[in-house]
Amino acid sequence: MPTAPAAGSVGLAETQRVVLFTQDDPLVLQSGATLGPVEVAYETYGTLNAEASNGVFICHALTGDAHAAGHTGDPSRPGWWDTLIGPGKPVDTDRFFVICANLLGGCQGTTGPSSTDPTTGTPYGLRFPIFTISDLVTVHRALLRHLGVTRLMAAIGGSVGGMQVLQWALDHPEDLHAGMMVCATGRLSAQNIAFSAVAREAILRDPDFNGGDYYDTPKHPDMGLSLARMIAHITYLSEESMRHKFGRRIQDADEPRHNFGVDFQVESYLQYQGESFLKRFDANSYLYLTRVMDYFDPFADPVAAAERLRHVTTRFLVLSFDTDWRFDTAHSREVVRTLQASRVPVTFREIESPWGHDSFLLVVPEYHRTVAAFLGRMEQEAVNGARHARTPGEDVAA
């Protein structure tokens, strides 16, 4: 590696790309629609062991990307989950082979609405097929096959990343020894959907949206996308963290200006968040990925859910934060209750943190302690072959 890694950092990381589905061998979506080619951007950290048993898959949240850890040239700009992933960190790259891929429908290297539709030669826009959380998992699995991993020690994710972990365990429990869901949910509430609906409206009503076909026009729906981000960002912070960060302080002045411009620091911050988001995100991807979340409801039919859960042997860790109101602890508790009722081994803890939904990205020592303990135990079971609790549907002799 050309640069010496900083302490606890995986150092220089390189995003790789692979075509996992082609036009001739397309991805078959849950809806029956097909999509090809599908290219996936991903990064890996650490080394896959000889038994290929130490794989940890990172499922990213709504606006994340493949670059979870390390840096791509500037060590002061680490990956989005660098707090958790690295040598000696809870997701220890000295022990685990860590994989993170940009989501299907995203806009940071993996095929999405901004990719070229081979049948027209122009970007898909809203002609990109509607997909589901299960379809995201299908693509993750194709990447694992490419990397020579058949069973993961763990899949972990925060927010919609956790939703992928849950769906993965339901669809293919044999893939996952363990699953970890942080700040996640088994279904969005009406309030959750309402916030996403307003964010989407901001994009759809932007005069430059042009029915999703804005890629070749001089103007993009920047106003709508930045507004969407500003709305969402409010839900990622707790009231306490906003009070702490901004209070009622005035931006660049001692006295309020008493006009309709940006006056309070919180306004300036939101505007910055909205604008900087434009550099890295695509409005159509935002529409698709938030919609995927809205429709996610794996336990909608309790009888069918119980039947599927009977076959789930994945060991779960579910974590929530007490000030998260995007997906508050009640969301996690509902998942725990449902898993537990079907005898799926699940460990749960609500962690104190003032930082709201964003806590899962930050250094909260008690959070990291629990993640490290859980993955340490899962390593003993999945990598070192320690005996573990038997669950129904599992071969006792295994």
Residues catalogued as catalytic: 159, 324, 357
**CB proximity list for 76: less than 8 A, separation 6 or greater:** none
Residues 6+ apart with CB under 8 A from 164: 59, 133, 136, 137, 140, 155, 157
- Element (H or E) spanning 195, and its range? helix 190-204
Q: What is the contact surface with other proteins in residues (CB under 8 A)?
A: 315, 333, 336-337, 340-341, 343, 345-350, 366, 369-370, 373-374, 376-377, 380-381, 386-392
Closest CB 165 distance from other proteins, rounded Å: 16
Contact 123, 117 (CB under 8 A): yes
Decide: 181 and 319 in contact? Cβ < 8 Å: yes
Q: Which is nearer to other proteins, 62 or 169 (CB)?
A: 169
Nearest 10 degrees: CA dihedral of 356, 42, 199, 37? -160
Residue number, 44 or 185, with CB nearest to other proteins: 185
Token pair 């991903």 is at which residue?
Answer: 42
In angstroms, give the least distance from the CB of 235 to other proteins. 25
Give 64 or 173: the residue with its C-beta nearer to other proteins.
173
Report d(CA 382, CA 164) in Å as an integer: 21
Both tokens of 371, joined, read: 């993640």
CB atoms within 10 A of CB 272: 13
Question: Cα 125–127–130 angle (5° rounding)?
Answer: 105
Beta carbons within 8 Å of 56's beta carbon, 6+ residues apart: 91, 96, 97, 98, 99, 152, 153, 154, 155, 156, 375
The two structure tokens encoding residue 244? 């702490």
Half-sphere exposure of 61 (CA within 13 A, CB side): 17
Provide, rounded to whole angstroms, the least separation between the CB of residue 89 and other proteins.
Answer: 17
* Residue 388: exposure state from Cβ atoms within 10 A (0-12, 13-18, ≥19): middle
Indicate the residue among 1 and 397 with the shorter CB distance to other proteins. Answer: 397
Is 371 within 8 Å of 90 (Cβ atoms)? yes
Tell which phi-psi region holds residue 247, choosing left (phi > 0), alpha (psi between -120 and 50) or beta. Answer: left
Place of tokens 């390593």: 379
Cα–Cα distance measured from residue 50 to residue 45, given in angstroms and rounded to the nearest whole number: 16
